[in-house]
Chains A and B, each alone.
Chain A
Amino acid sequence: MDSILIERKNQVFRTGTDAQTIHCNKPSVAGSVSQRACVFCGSRVVLYPIADALHIVHGPIGCAAYTWDIRGALSSGPEIHRLSFSTDLREKDVVFGGETKLYHSLIELIDQYKPKAAFVYSTCIVGVIGDDIEAVCKKANKEKGIPVIPVQAPGFNGSKKDGYKIACEALATLIGTGDLAVPEKSINILGDFNLAGELWMLLEYYKKMGIHVNATITGDGRVEAIASAHKASLNVVQCSGSMMHLAKIMKDKYNIPMMKVSYFGIEDMSDALYEVAKFFKDDEMMAKARILVREEFGRLMPVLKEYKEKLQGKKAAIYVGGSFKAISLIKALRLIGVQTVVVGSQTGTPDEYEIINQLCDEGTIVVDDSNPIELSAFVKETCADIFIGGVKERPIAYKLGLGFCDHNHERKEALAGYEGMLNFAKEIYATAMSPVWQFTRQR
């Protein structure tokens, strides 16, 4: 029995020892227990936080049921997004087509919930049974006067990343149709989903710097603001995996420049603020950013130092959605004395894997699209103490006697920004230092 399938051999490498570059962005191997979800999932998680839109899943019930209110994406107002709507296709629909059902569902739901727009996700079997989603959307749009946007995301049609792209294209059809007044120096925030209210902290920072935030895409998102997003002067994009595509579209179409940032860890967070001030070539803005960063550092550093002293020598394994986030995590962990020994992502890019290669100590295992068996072999080999991943990895970590920190869509603790760094350190500390491990590590 091998822990790495032959077909996956070049999706794993060790820094400093393996010369080859990592192969990524490949479809998962049949028969593997991938931690990845599907195309539909990718588009769903990106669009989900738009709170005043109706999200209806056209397909059999599961795809909708499993994505009901699963993200911690908060809204400061309407919460239509937290409801799960489905056409719940049955055998007769599969045989005779589901268009009528979709049409009636759209009309009744728009009447009942009065959304500002509707997203219609088509899942795997819909393409196969040949429903013309676009036609139904057009019809509903005409009758109800709100944008009804098809999101054609059958799960088999690529990976989760392709779903991000499809979501970006759906957003692009909305952008440019709105007419909200926007001040001169304003930005859009792309790729923050307001998990556990993280976006609200970022808004606070930018407000302190005197920057107007136009559309937040899609955390705490509103249809009207997104429709007017083309009026902003800059797109600040986080989490390259999901939103770079939209930023590119907006650059081509509206000539809005983009800036890639990360809000995880205090270095990256501070850079995110400085870079925006630099972009606007505004000294006052920069001065305010400096003050903000200084204050936050002053508040954080002594606390983080204490954590660092206690956590020194601990080792972490990271397995998250995108490789960009992994980079920030490696740095954030280093700040509190934790060394990263395994790092992987579901959907990484070659460039980012290269950065990871540079950043990590020699011998670190880097892996793309991993699975439980591999992950358990890697943490064992490297003697990791803590695992950072999503909810699917938690029980594996616990069964292996490792601490765990949830860094995925479902987290209930804010981990972005300065406050987030503190929460992160607190969580790593709590899980690494718990006395319960005395019972699991008696080998």
Chain B
Amino acid sequence: MEAVKSPKKTFVSTRNACKLCAPLGASVVFKGIKGCLPMIHGSQGCATYIRRYMISHFKEPVDIASSNFSEETTIFGGNRNFNTGIENIIQQYNPEVIGIASACLSETIGEDIPRLIREYRTVNASKALPVFVNASTPSYQGTHMDGFHEAVSSVVANLAECGETGTHINIFPGFVSPADLRHLKDILTDFGLDYVLFPDYSDSLDNPHWKEYQIIPEGGTAVSEIKRTGTAKASLEFGYILNLGGINSRITESKAAFTAAQWLEKNRSVIRCKLGMPIGINETDRFFKQLEELSGKPTPNRYERQRGRLVDAYVDGHKYVFGKRAIVYGDEDMVVGLVAFLTEIGIEPVLVASGGESGILKREIERITEGKYPQMKVVSGMDFESINEMTEELKPDIFIGNSKGYYISRRLGIPLVRVGFPVHDRFGAQRLQHLGYEGTQQLFDRITNALIEYKQEHSPVGYKYI
């Protein structure tokens, strides 16, 4: 790609978006429910594109049905398509759960999915039906992350039971990798905690090889478990931003967003523990401290040692990374977590960018960096061409973000350390770790090595040791 001319101004259009659309986020969540088949209520293309995108990242079969709107549907409403869609899904998949996400089209023509579900249930009252959950996800109201959180909170609000408070806890980790989820489960188990983790696509989007084809891949949080979120003693929720910002251009106030933990606090009196993404030592310490309090047990030795090794690595590697200039981009909570970590190791985030538009990214980044980087730019609603045009002035040494920024790092000849979603130009995205001391260790190694490799490749000497 040719070099970039200097930008003339800000653009009205979006050029190489740094975000995806809302039903994708909802579909990821539905894949994290045991026995669930997602359906997108809208036209066919949206579901096919979203499947293709998820497949390219997770390298797993991802079945998402569509109610396949036709022209008549668009004029007369999606009622018939909805019912036929559900019937066909039951006939072919017989799922325990059907997760329905709306799309731009169905929202624009005013489809009321909860009502469609109610009507379907009434008409088929005599049959054994799957559990229905749904999320309202028009993409003109938010990104894939808004869709993700909308689905989490909507499912919880739909299913969480009332009852006496138990001893278990909830954990809502946000959009992280299957390997991150597995690590979190290990940690909670090692603390001896009874927990509900939702959504849990650690298996359904990263399955072992099968002996028999599974039409609905195993894994996921069971509905009976999601019900228990209502009686938990506390909810841990990762992310300071979630879907709490004033969502850009939302003009219907009635749809004010809430998070799952917020809803549970308000409606089921479950204590809400707000945490950032546990990336870096400080944020992970806060997470473990929270777990100590909730479990009444000290951090297991295994994690103390992980932390110790991470500190050791920070020391061993500090000179390779110190003072390096990074462009960090991706989902808002992910970049907040990454910046918290980079601040600990002396990498300067010169640009922090997200396609998300919560309106509170800047505030959160500034809180976390405590004014250490007066030059740092924090931009919401960013697209990649705008990032591309800023690189000349920013002079970055490294990119940290998803695969989509590769073309810019390639033009500049600097390394890109791939994190988040989508990572579809590398192998093993499902196994990338970001969270905890272990995930941070992985990130630290990858970033440090990327910088060392850059130096090595550009050195006239070609040294074989560091």
CB pair B140 A124 closer than 8 Å: no
CB <8 Å contact, B63 and A372: yes
Q: How far is the CA of A30 from the CA of B82 in the complex (A)?
A: 7
- A28-B249 contact in complex given A35-B48, A125-B105, A392-B51, C-beta closer than 8 Å: no
Q: Is B395 an interface residue (CB 8 A)?
A: no
Stretch from B84-92, B259-267, B271-279 at the A interface: B84-92
Question: How distant is B341 from chain A, measured CB to nearest CB, in Å?
Answer: 27
Q: Are B16 and A155 in contact (CB under 8 A)?
A: no
Query: Binary interface profile of A, 248-283, with partner B (CB < 8 Å = 1, else 0)?
Result: 000000000000000000000000000000000000
CB distance from A116 to the nearest CB of B (A): 16
The CA-CA distance from A84 to B355 in the complex, in Å, is: 14
Question: Which residue of the partner chain, among B66, B89, B109, B140, contacts A60 with CB atoms under 8 Å?
Answer: B140
Q: Are B94 and A84 in contact (CB under 8 A)?
A: no
**Distance (Å) between the CB of B431 and the closest chain A CB?**
15
Q: Which of A85-93, A141-149, A191-199, A216-224 is found at the contact surface with chain B?
A: A85-93
Residues from chain B with a CB closer than 8 A to the CB of A440 are 209
Chain B, interface SS category:
mixed
Q: How many angstroms from the CA of A87 to the CA of B71 in the assembled complex?
A: 23
A85 engages B13 (CB within 8 Å): yes
Q: List, in ascending order, chain B residues with CB within 8 A of A128's CB.
A: 74, 105, 108-109
A380 touches B12 (CB 8 A): no
Chain A minimum-CB-distance residue to B2: A79
Q: Which residues of A contact B86 (CB under 8 A)?
A: 31
**20 sampled A-B residue pairs with Cβ under 8 A:** A1-B93, A5-B92, A31-B65, A36-B48, A61-B143, A62-B23, A63-B45, A66-B49, A68-B17, A86-B13, A86-B14, A88-B14, A108-B12, A125-B104, A128-B74, A391-B52, A391-B56, A392-B55, A394-B55, A396-B61
B65 contact set on A, CB distance < 8 A: 31-33
Tell me which residues across on chain B come within 8 A of A69, comparing CB atoms: 407
Q: Would you give the 0/1 interface string for A299-313, flagging 1 where the beta carbon is closer than 8 Å to chain B?
A: 000000000000000
State the CA gap A101–B11 with chains docked (Å). Answer: 11
A399 and B61 form a contact (CB under 8 A): yes
* Known contacts A395-B60, A399-B213, A443-B211; is-contact A37 B85 (Cβ 8 Å): no
Among residues of A, the one whose C-beta sits closest to the C-beta of B82 is A30
In-complex Cβ contact of B39 among A31, A67, A86, A88 (8 A): A31
A48-60: CB near B (< 8 Å → 1, else 0) gives 0000000010011
| Size class of the B contact interface (CB-based, 8 Å) | 35 or more
Contacts of A6 in B (CB 8 A): 91
Extra A-B contacts (10), CB below 8 Å, given A31-B88, A32-B88, A61-B21 = A5-B92, A7-B88, A27-B68, A28-B68, A38-B44, A38-B46, A156-B71, A392-B48, A395-B62, A399-B214
Inside 8 A of A101's CB, which chain B residues have their CB? Answer: 12-13
Interface centre among A32, A39, A63, A83 (most CB of B within 10 A): A32
**Per-residue CB proximity of B236-251 to A under 8 Å, as 1/0?**
0000000000001111
Task: Provide the residues of chain A in CB contact with B299, threshold 8 Å.
Answer: none
For the complex, what is the distance from the CA of A296 to the CA of B62, rounded to whole Å? Answer: 42
> CA–CA, A330 to B435, complex, Å?
48
Taken residue by residue from 67 to 86, chain A's Cβ proximity to chain B (1 for < 8 Å, 0 otherwise) reads as 11100000000010011111
A338 to B15, CA, bound (A): 45
Q: Which residues of B contact A32 (CB under 8 A)?
A: 65-66, 68, 88, 92
Report yes or no: A38 in contact with B45, Cβ–Cβ below 8 A. Answer: yes
In the A-B complex, list the 8 residue pairs whose CB atoms are closest, starting with the nearest. A38-B45, A62-B21, A31-B88, A31-B85, A90-B249, A105-B13, A66-B49, A88-B14
In contact, B68 and A94 (Cβ under 8 angstroms) = no
Checking A125, A156, A396 against B70 with a beta-carbon cut-off of 8 angstroms, the contacting residue is A156
Interface status of A109 (Cβ within 8 A of chain B): yes
Min CB distance, B136 to chain A, in Å?
12
CB of B210, distance to nearest CB on chain A (Å): 5
Cα(A440)–Cα(B210), bound, Å = 8
Closest CB in chain B relative to A236 CB, distance in Å: 30
Residues of A22-49 whose CB lies within 8 A of B:
27-41
Complex Cα–Cα for A380 and B68 (A): 28
Chain B, range 66-102, C-beta contacts under 8 Å to A? 66-71, 73-74, 80-82, 84-89, 91-94
Tell me the nearest residue of chain B to A39, going by C-beta. Answer: B45
Bound complex: CA A33 to CA B59 (Å): 17
Least Cβ–Cβ distance between A4 and chain B, in angstroms: 9
* Residues of chain A lying within 8 A (CB to CB) of residue B11: 105, 108-109, 112
CA distance in complex: A5, B63 (Å): 16
Inter-chain contacts of A65 with B (CB < 8 A) = 17, 19-21
Residue ranges of A at the interface with B (Cβ–Cβ < 8 Å): 1-3, 5-7, 27-41, 56, 59-69, 79, 82-95, 101, 104-105, 108-109, 111-112, 124-125, 127-129, 154-157, 371-373, 376, 380, 391-392, 394-396, 398-401, 439-440, 443
- Cβ-defined partner of B43 (8 Å) among A124, A129, A392, A395: A124
Complex CA gap A62/B143 in Å reads: 9
Q: Across the two chains, which residue of chain B brings its CB closest to A44?
A: B45
Q: Which among A30, A82, A127, A372 has the highest number of chain B CB atoms within 10 Å?
A: A30
Residue B160 at the chain A interface, CB threshold 8 Å: no
Measured CB to CB, the closest approach of chain A to B331, in angstroms, equals 14
Chain A residues, CB < 8 A from B74: 124, 127-128, 156
- Residue in A67, A91, A109 whose CB lies within 8 Å of B140: A91
A440: nearest chain-B partner, CB-CB: B209
Q: Provided the pairs A56-B13, A443-B211 are in contact, do residues A155 and B46 lie with their beta carbons within 8 angstroms?
A: yes
Q: For residue A42, which residue of chain B has the nearest CB?
A: B45
A31 near B67: Cβ-Cβ < 8 Å: yes
Contact in complex: A61, B17 (CB < 8 Å): yes
Contacts of A105 in B (CB 8 A): 11-13
Query: Do B64 and A33 touch across chains, with their CB atoms under 8 A apart?
Result: yes
User: Which residues from B are CB-within-8-Å of A93?
Assistant: 140, 249
Shortest C-beta distance, B74 to chain A (Å), equals 6
8 A Cβ contacts from B335-387 to A = 385
Contact A37 B251 (CB under 8 A): no
CA distance A400 to B74 in the complex (A): 38
Question: For the complex, what is the distance from the CA of A109 to the CA of B13, rounded to whole Å?
Answer: 8
How many angstroms from the CA of A33 to the CA of B9 in the assembled complex?
43
Query: Which residues of chain A have C-beta atoms less than 8 A from B442's C-beta?
Result: none
From A2, A39, A88, A89, contact of B17 by CB (8 A): A88
Residue of A whose beta carbon sits closest to that of B44: A38
Q: A31-B84, A93-B140, A440-B209 are in contact. Are A1 and B16 (CB under 8 A)?
A: no
CB–CB B209/A401 < 8 A: yes
Q: How far is the CB of A102 from chain B (nearest CB, A)?
A: 9
* Cβ-defined contact, A91 with B250, below 8 A: yes
Q: Judge whether B42 is part of the interface by a CB distance below 8 angstroms.
A: yes
Best-surrounded residue of A92, A94, A105, A376 (most CB of chain B within 10 A): A94
> Could you mark each residue 113-130 of chain B with 1 if its beta carbon is under 8 Å from any beta carbon of chain A, else 0?
000000000000000000
List of B residues within 8 angstroms of A112 by Cβ: 5, 8, 11
Residue from B2, B48, B105, B143 within 8 A of A34 (CB atoms): B48
Flag if B15 contacts A41 (CB, 8 Å).
Answer: no
| Chain B: CB-nearest residue to A38 | B45
Residues in chain B near residue A111, CB distance under 8 A = 8
Neighbouring B residues of A399 by C-beta, 8 Å: 60-61, 207, 209-210, 213-214
Give the residue of A7, A61, A155 whose beta carbon is less than 8 angstroms from that of B19.
A61
| A20 CB → nearest B CB, Å | 22
Do B88 and A30 have beta carbons less than 8 Å apart? yes
Contacting residues, chain A, for B36 (C-beta < 8 A):
none
Question: Within 8 Å CB of B81, what residues of A?
Answer: 30
B269 located at the interface, meaning its Cβ lies under 8 Å from any Cβ of chain A in the complex:
no
Verify B213–A400 contact, CB threshold 8 A.
Answer: yes
Cross-chain contact A34 with B139 (CB below 8 angstroms): no
* A68 cross-chain contacts in B, Cβ below 8 A: 16-17, 404
Residue of B48, B64, B89 with highest tally of chain A CB at under 10 A: B48
* Cβ–Cβ contact A156 & B17, under 8 A: no
Chain B residues in 8 Å Cβ range of A83 = 15-16, 385
- A395: chain B residues at CB < 8 Å are 55, 59-62
> What is the CA–CA distance of A264 and B163 in the complex, to the nearest angstrom?
65
Contact check, B15 vs A85: say whether CB atoms are below 8 A apart: yes
